Chains A and B, each alone.
Chain A
């Protein structure tokens, strides 16, 4: 029996996509469903999580992150605080840096475009582990950065051992609060088991080195995206605005930036999604230390599962992280949309 051409194309189509469907189904979709179940249990990693002996705890694992007082909530909220500061600083800085570099590289008067583009992009293709090793060396207490600072007469900190929050340091430096003796109305209480004083710590000195590292590695990729968008802007448009007598800043503000809006939107979205997932650098450089100030939800979820064998809590954290990422993306989309109108 001969099949019709249509039936044959149907079969061929399914055969062509079958391997990818099987792989993505077995190792992306199925795991998520299994993990949803595990996040509702107290499984300790022994045997199968689907056996009858595994205790079903409902939403306890989630409750321990938000409402139940204890070490788990303390750690989780600390990790969320650290990551909020991390996202809030890394995303804007890397976006502005990437845009700035793209504008300079794109300028028609300068030569050596290819070289500079390659130089800025290279860090982002290399291994995050290898780069982390390099930064451990550069920021060591008698390392390159502190040597450079000493040259200007500044004594650099012990970067990776310094748990002091930057915002605390700034407030103390301005004389607004006494860092060793913070005011009682700040230490007295606060949301989710952390005091207001702890929420307002800012990123620690140690976390700042990880932020610098990430800004340094990812700006290159985003610069390329801006560069591609800049090259799509028709030259005639710029020339027309020049003839109209628009100065450089006006041209940037009213011609270039509006044309870059879609790319800007994309860079911000990708930046937010990536920064909420910071893991490799924490794993290699600090393991959450000092004083849990480099703990992030991604790293905490990993250690809860693989070091403390609390798989339920670990998976619950990863689903909360998923929700946070979705929420942030939606909010950012909404904010930018408002301004478009």
Chain B
């Protein structure tokens, strides 16, 4: 009996060891590229090319960042990305939760058909819409404007779905109390239902921010003038444009770091909402 138990204990230790080995190995695989990126952005160009694996920049220089801000349009891209991302995020949070609330709670004719339409739209793959979106923007005379960057994606079916699921999960009693007190539908929604929806609203805010901050294809089909480039678009041009003129890796990686930082900060602060967002996607 004792030997069996000792054997069992040894196996547990061994499997704990193997478990940690796997976890640490993959943690390195998933995180080290970011370490390399960050350190290379503080290296000199020859050093970045010679010692790409070394995590310590020696000498430590900030030339890449000076160059990013002074000799590229980075300030413009950052500004555009901020404007577009904030507008889209605010729009989505408001419009998606209004629609989600109506689909979850209000009895109106055509509600079921509308919800089926939302599900059908969710199933349309994004790439199918590249050229079609361009056609519509041209037709409406919106092509190459801020409106084109923002308006077409200021509401999304996925967000409506998340909010509908959420509103269905909260009890009706509070709203009914507000109704009896004589509050109209809008009042009830704005001052009673929305405040209760904080966790879902934060989730939606975060996934909207993240997806619009990182968005590339929509910018490609909505605008062409460099004044309207968002950060991913500018970064893509920077990378393909300078292929001929040397590698300039510290510069490109520095620009990529700047594109990553906002989402990274939000990720660290609101990680559990990201996790919830990923799993909401799973419920679709």
Instruction: Tell me, yes or no, whether B191 is within 8 Å of chain A by CB.
Output: no
Say yes or no: A32 contacts B129, CB within 8 Å: yes
Binary B-proximity of A7-28 (CB < 8 A = 1, otherwise 0): 0111111101101110110111
Which of A38, A100, A107, A138 touches B33 (beta carbons < 8 Å)?
A138
Residues in B whose Cβ lies below 8 Å from that of A125: 210, 263, 267, 274
Say yes or no: B155 contacts A20, CB within 8 Å: yes
Report Cα–Cα, A11/B186, bound state, in Å: 12
Among B92-111, those with CB < 8 Å from A are 95-96, 98-99, 101-103, 106-111
Residues in A whose Cβ lies below 8 Å from that of B249: 137, 140
Residues in B whose Cβ lies below 8 Å from that of A228: 279, 282
Instruction: Tell me, yes or no, whether B235 is within 8 Å of chain A by CB.
Output: yes
With A137-B253, A144-B36: A27-B152 Cβ-Cβ less than 8 Å = yes
Q: Is the interface of B mostly helix, strand, loop or mixed?
A: helix
Say yes or no: B214 contacts A23, CB within 8 Å: no
Chain B contributes a number of interface residues (CB within 8 A of A) equal to: 94
Q: From A144, which residue of chain B is reached at the shortest CB distance?
A: B52
Say yes or no: A27 contacts B279, CB within 8 Å: no
Residues in A whose Cβ lies below 8 Å from that of B37: 134, 137
Instruction: Tell me, yes or no, whether A301 is within 8 Å of chain B by CB.
Output: yes
- State which of B18-26, B57-65, B66-74, B196-204 sits at the interface with chain A: B18-26
Report Cα–Cα, A280/B263, bound state, in Å: 18
Instruction: Tell me, yes or no, whether A116 is within 8 Å of chain B by CB.
Output: yes
Residues in A whose Cβ lies below 8 Å from that of B109: 10
Say yes or no: B275 contacts A121, CB within 8 Å: yes
Instruction: Tell me, yes or no, whether A49 is within 8 Å of chain B by CB.
Output: yes
Report Cα–Cα, A31/B135, bound state, in Å: 7
With A127-B260, A137-B253: A24-B16 Cβ-Cβ less than 8 Å = no
Say yes or no: A314 contacts B23, CB within 8 Å: no
Say yes or no: A116 contacts B27, CB within 8 Å: yes
Q: From A270, which residue of chain B is reached at the shortest CB distance?
A: B281
Instruction: Tell me, yes or no, whether B124 is within 8 Å of chain A by CB.
Output: yes
Report Cα–Cα, A277/B125, bound state, in Å: 8
Instruction: Tell me, yes or no, whether B264 is within 8 Å of chain A by CB.
Output: yes
Say yes or no: B127 contacts A19, CB within 8 Å: no
What is the distance, in angstroms, from A35's C-beta to the closest C-beta of chain B?
4
Q: From A322, which residue of chain B is reached at the shortest CB distance?
A: B128
Among B133-147, those with CB < 8 Å from A are 133-136, 138-139
Q: From B135, which residue of chain A is reached at the shortest CB distance?
A: A34
Which of A14, A34, A302, A318 touches B139 (beta carbons < 8 Å)?
A34
Which of B121, B127, B189, B253 touches A28 (beta carbons < 8 Å)?
B121
Residues in B whose Cβ lies below 8 Å from that of A263: 282
Which of B27, B53, B118 touches A144 (beta carbons < 8 Å)?
B53
Residues in B whose Cβ lies below 8 Å from that of A95: none
Instruction: Tell me, yes or no, whether B151 is within 8 Å of chain A by CB.
Output: yes
Report Cα–Cα, A6/B108, bound state, in Å: 8
Residues in A whose Cβ lies below 8 Å from that of B189: 16
Which of A128, A137, A225 touches B252 (beta carbons < 8 Å)?
A137
What is the distance, in angstroms, from B269's C-beta to the closest C-beta of chain A?
12
Q: From A137, which residue of chain B is reached at the shortest CB distance?
A: B249
Say yes or no: A27 contacts B133, CB within 8 Å: yes
- State which of A70-78, A169-177, A186-194, A216-224 sits at the interface with chain B: A216-224
Instruction: Tell me, yes or no, whether B83 is within 8 Å of chain A by CB.
Output: no
Say yes or no: A32 contacts B235, CB within 8 Å: no
What is the distance, in angstroms, from B169's C-beta to the closest C-beta of chain A?
16
Say yes or no: A23 contacts B240, CB within 8 Å: no
What is the distance, in angstroms, from A147's C-beta to the closest C-beta of chain B?
5
Say yes or no: A284 contacts B240, CB within 8 Å: yes
The 3 closest A-B pairs by CB, nearest first: A13-B108, A31-B132, A16-B102
Given contacts A112-B23, A134-B34, A136-B239, 19 further A-B contacts (CB under 8 A): A10-B107, A20-B95, A20-B99, A26-B136, A31-B135, A34-B136, A109-B12, A116-B27, A121-B274, A122-B34, A122-B267, A127-B260, A129-B235, A133-B252, A133-B253, A135-B33, A140-B52, A148-B53, A284-B240
Q: Chain B interface (Cβ within 8 Å of chain A)?
A: 12, 15-16, 19-20, 22-23, 26-27, 29-31, 33-34, 36-37, 40, 49, 52-53, 95-96, 98-99, 101-103, 106-111, 114, 117-118, 121, 124-136, 138-139, 151-155, 157, 160, 185-186, 189, 210, 213-214, 216-217, 220-221, 231-232, 235-236, 239-240, 247, 249, 252-253, 255-257, 259-260, 263-264, 267, 271, 274-275, 278-279, 281-282
26 pairs, CB–CB < 8 Å, chain A vs chain B: A11-B108, A12-B186, A14-B108, A23-B155, A26-B152, A28-B157, A110-B20, A122-B34, A123-B33, A126-B260, A127-B214, A127-B232, A129-B216, A130-B257, A131-B256, A134-B34, A134-B36, A144-B53, A216-B30, A263-B282, A283-B216, A284-B239, A302-B130, A311-B131, A318-B130, A321-B127
